[in-house]
Structure 1
Amino acid sequence: MVKTAAEYQRAYRERLKAQEKQTVGVADSAFKAPFHEFMGDFWNDVTTYLEWSGVKEIPDYVADGDTDPDWNPETDGPNRGALGRAERMVGLYLDAASTLADYINRYKVQEINARLAELEVADLSDTQARKQAVADIVRLTKFRDQLSKQVRWTLPQWKVKGE
C-alpha cells in the first residue's frame, strides 16, 4: 500500500520526536554544579516578572530532584531536575505568551473591523463628518495592517541537542 503525503509527514514528525527524546540532556554530563544552586541568586529576577503579571503560584525552585508528579520518563524523556524543569518552563511561558498575543490580536482586529463596518453604514452627508470618517478609516486600516504583521523576539538558546 502506498503512503500518502500526510502519512510520510506523520512518520517524519514521529522520527524527529523520538530523536529529540534521545538527545534531551546529552550535555548534562558537562554540567557539574546543580542548576538550582546557580539560580539561587537569580531566581528573583524571573519571579518578579511573574508577580508583576499577577502570577501568585510560583513554582518551587529549591530542590534539584525530579519533583514533577505528572512527568512520565517513558513518554516525556528524562526529567533532569531543576534544569529540565526550567527548560520546560521556558517553552510553556513562550506558548502562553504566543497564545495570549494571538487572542489580543484577534480581539483588536475584530474591534477594528466592527468600527470600520460602523463607519461604512454611517450617515456621511455632512462634509465635516465625511472628512472625519475618511480620516478614521485610514487610521483604523493602518492599525489593522500593523496587526497583520508578526513580531520577532530573540532569545538566547537554552536547549542543547545532540549531533
Structure 2
Amino acid sequence: MPLSNAEKVRRYRERQKAKKQEELKQPTPPSDVFRKPFFEFFPPDYQRGSAYVESLELAGMEALLFEDDSGPEKSTLDEIIGDDGQDDAENFFGQYAGSSLGKAEVLIGCMLDSVFDLASEVNNYKKSEIKARISEIEASDLSDPEARRAAFAKVAELNRLLGELDKTIRLTMPQWKVELPPGLVDR
C-alpha cells in the first residue's frame, strides 16, 4: 500500500531528527576561530566547583574532567571496533575528534541521549504502574456506593496523571553547536 503524503513527510522528519541527534555526538572541526583549548578556558579547578561536576556527583556519577586537550576517543570505556577488527575510536568520532572541545561536545550529545532514554523508561514505568492500579480498581468490588464514588475519584486522578505523562517538556539551554563555513575550517 502506497504511503500518503503526510506519512512520507512524517518519516522524512523522523529521519532528519535522528540524523540531527547523531550529529550532536560529532565534534566541531578544528578552526582558526577556536584557538584556545577548551580545557584551558574551563580549568579542572573551576570544573570541580561547577554545577556540571556537582550535579553528576549528586547523581552518583564521576564527572569527566577536561585536564588536557585529549578528545573523546581517549575517554570511551569500551573499545570501538571497526570493520577491520581494529580499534576505531578515532574514526568513530571523525577526523576532528582529538580536542577537549570535541570531547565536551560529544559528552553533551551523549548525555542528552542518555537523559532522553532514561526519561522515556521512567515515563513508561509510571504509565504501566498507573494503568495497573486502574485495572485493580476496575476489578475490585464496587457494590458499595461510597466505595464506588471513592474509586471513581481515584480513577479520575490516575487518568489525570496519565494525561500529564503523555505531555513532553521543552528545556532551554545555550546553543553549543555551530556550523562552521568551509572557509573557517582547518584542513
TM-score in terms of structure 2 length: 0.69
Q: What is the aligned partner in structure 1 of residue 83 from structure 2? A: none
1:68 deviates by 2.1
Q: What is the aligned partner in structure 1 of residue 33 from structure 2? A: 30
Aligned residues: 147
The amino acid of 1:52's aligned partner reads: L
Residues 139-159 of structure 1: CA deviation (Å, up to 9, x unaligned): 000000000011111121111
Identity score, percent: 33
Q: Which is richer in helix?
A: 1
Q: What is the aligned partner in structure 2 of residue 48 from structure 1? A: 54
Is 1:91 matched with 2:109? Answer: yes
Correspondence list, 1:4-153, <5 A:
25-26=28-29, 28-40=31-43, 42-44=46-48, 45=50, 46-56=52-62, 58-66=63-71, 68-69=73-74, 70=80, 71-73=89-91, 76-153=94-171
* 1:98–1:110 Cα change, 3 Å: same
Unmatched runs of 5 consecutive residues or more in structure 1: none
SS in 1 for 2:174: coil
Across the aligned residues of Structure 1 and Structure 2, the Cα RMSD in angstroms comes to 2.6
1:48 deviates by 0.8
The amino acid of 2:64's aligned partner reads: P
Q: Distance in 2 between matches of 1:89 and 1:105?
A: 24
* Contact 1:26–1:160 (CA under 8 A) maintained in structure 2: no
1:66 deviates by 3.8
* 1:143–1:91 Cα change, 3 Å: same
Q: Distance in 2 between matches of 1:106 and 1:151?
A: 15
Q: Decide which moves more: 62-71 or 119-128.
A: 62-71
Unmatched runs of 5 consecutive residues or more in structure 2: 1-7, 75-79, 81-88, 182-187
Moved over 6 A (4+): none
* Contact 1:24–1:160 (CA under 8 A) maintained in structure 2: no
Q: Distance in 2 between matches of 1:122 and 1:85?
A: 55
Residues 67-98 of structure 1: CA deviation (Å, up to 9, x unaligned): 62452237633114100000000001101100
Q: Distance in 1 between matches of 2:131 and 2:119?
A: 18
TM-score in terms of structure 1 length: 0.78
SS in 2 for 1:151: coil
